[in-house]
A and B are shown apart, each in its own frame.
Chain A
Amino acid sequence: GENVEQHPSTLSVQEGDSAVIKCTYSDSASNYFPWYKQELGKGPQLIIDIRSNVGEKKDQRIAVTLNKTAKHFSLHITETQPEDSAVYFCAPRRGYQKVTFGTGTKLQVIP
């Protein structure tokens, strides 16, 4: 099965700064790379995803970049705001197959 690692496990940034979370995976056949955000007391929710034929995708303040050769992808959040404080999970997979989640990154944005 897929081995997934996320770094860092915790991240504190000042409001307005940028945050970067990296996800490393083991299955070279993985072709779908989503990021989920989990707010306190809630289930995770998809915030951005990318497919293997694309190197980068951006949606307002968040972006995902993919390096298939090195088998890692990263979540970039710019101009961080207090509402970005949450736990973020990556969940790479091969298309329809079952999902393995990373161990999560707790992001704290300090006002």
Chain B
Amino acid sequence: NAGVTQTPKFQVLKTGQSMTLQCAQDMNHEYMSWYRQDPGMGLRLIHYSVGAGITDQGEVPNGYNVSRSTTEDFPLRLLSAAPSQTSVYFCASRTGQGFDEQYFGPGTRLTVT
């Protein structure tokens, strides 16, 4: 079991560029989420999905898109990168049933110049 994997680990973008952060899990979890973590701050929810084909917005969705075509994968797309999107991004998954533990990936550190 690899758990939750994220690629890339590090990325530098120029303002206006687009990119996709990849997230995959091999635990057959229905519920997947994307968070961003800024220095000295907690984790803020960007988007989440309760199953394949279903996505919803979290606290800070602007500037990001997601889709969920399979149970395993939940990519996060930055449409036009801005310096305010410089952050560490974490993907997480859980079964989605009641009192379940959330498993996190190792994170992607993104810098937008």
Contact = CB atoms under 8 A, between A and B. Distances in A.
B is a partner of A: yes
A46 B42 contact: no
Given A43-B92, A43-B104, A98-B33, A103 B99 contact: no
B27 interface: no
**Interface of A, helix, strand, loop or mixed by DSSP:** loop
B89 to A, nearest CB: 10
Interface stretch (A13-21, A67-75, A88-96): A88-96
B75 interface: no
Contact of B41 (A44, A99, A103): A103
Contact of A99 (B45, B105, B106, B107): B45
A32 B45 CA distance: 18
B61 interface: no
Interface residues of A, number: 24
A42 B98 contact: no
Contact of B101 (A46, A89, A100, A102): A46
Interface in B65-85: none
Contact of A44 (B43, B44, B58): B43
Contacts of B33: 98-99
A100 B106 contact: no
B7 to A, nearest CB: 14
Interface string B93-109: 00011111110111100
Interface string A47-61: 001010000000000
Nearest to A4: B42
Contact of B99 (A49, A89, A102): A49
Given A42-B107, A104-B42, A99 B97 contact: no
A31 to B, nearest CB: 8
A28 interface: no
A102 B42 contact: yes
Contact of B90 (A34, A43, A51): A43
A78 interface: no
A109 to B, nearest CB: 20
